[in-house]
Chain A
Amino acid sequence: DADVTQTPRNRITKTGKRIMLECSQTKGHDRMYWYRQDPGLGLRLIYYSFDVKDINKGEISDGYSVSRQAQAKFSLSLESAIPNQTALYFCATSDSDRRSGYTFGSGTRLTVV
């Protein structure tokens, strides 16, 4: 099993629908992150969580919300999906030592039509 698992892998949804992307990890890491990647561009941080009770906005949080249900689970929701939220979404984890690397999931490809 992958260390960081994202579900679904692919999703097509309609404008205005609510959708949740899920992320679970077996790394035992405290910190979890959601990134978005548009074609040809680098990753941009949406939200991050340093522990279960800590949620922080990233650089592009508008239109998104998150829930940290447990240390191992971090979900990203699009309350009312719009076409410009079509992108590749990545979840990542890290431990509290800032020298440690991130572990990324395989991504969720979301298309909003």
Chain B
Amino acid sequence: DAKTTQPTSMDCAEGRAANLPCNHSTISGNEYVYWYRQIHSQGPQYIIHGLKNNETNEMASLIITEDRKSSTLILPHATLRDTAVYYCIVRGAAGNKLTFGGGTRVLVKP
């Protein structure tokens, strides 16, 4: 499975959009990009995933570059409850396992 690179941490102002980058330059054509978040020590929560096209759901938007080597998760109006560690994961065709990296620790400030 392709590895991902994320910033270790970032701050965001409450009410503003939070843009979380992820690099996955070795991604292959049939690998999906997934985003999960973990609030404090709770179980990780699925946010969104995509293959090529941009995706949007009630939680977030996922923008994938045309070459698929990077992506951005957008939380459109960050709230204090969005403070969490956000994991970008590339999921391979072989097997079905999620491999977690260190993630980005996002702190939403009032």
Contacts and interface: CB of A to CB of B under 8 A. Distances in A.
26 contacts: A4-B43, A33-B97, A37-B41, A42-B102, A42-B103, A43-B98, A43-B100, A45-B97, A45-B98, A58-B97, A90-B43, A92-B98, A98-B32, A98-B91, A98-B93, A99-B49, A101-B34, A101-B49, A102-B36, A102-B46, A102-B98, A104-B43, A104-B45, A105-B43, A106-B42, A107-B42
Contacts, number: 56
Interface of A: 4, 31, 33, 35, 37, 41-45, 48, 50, 58, 88, 90, 92, 94, 96, 98-99, 101-107, 109
Q: Is the interface of A mostly helix, strand, loop or mixed?
A: strand
Contact of A42 (B49, B91, B96, B101): B101
B6 to A, nearest CB: 10
A106 B33 CA distance: 24
Contacts of B91: 98
Contacts of B96: 31, 50, 94, 96, 98
Interface of B: 32, 34, 36, 41-46, 49, 51, 87, 91, 93, 96-103
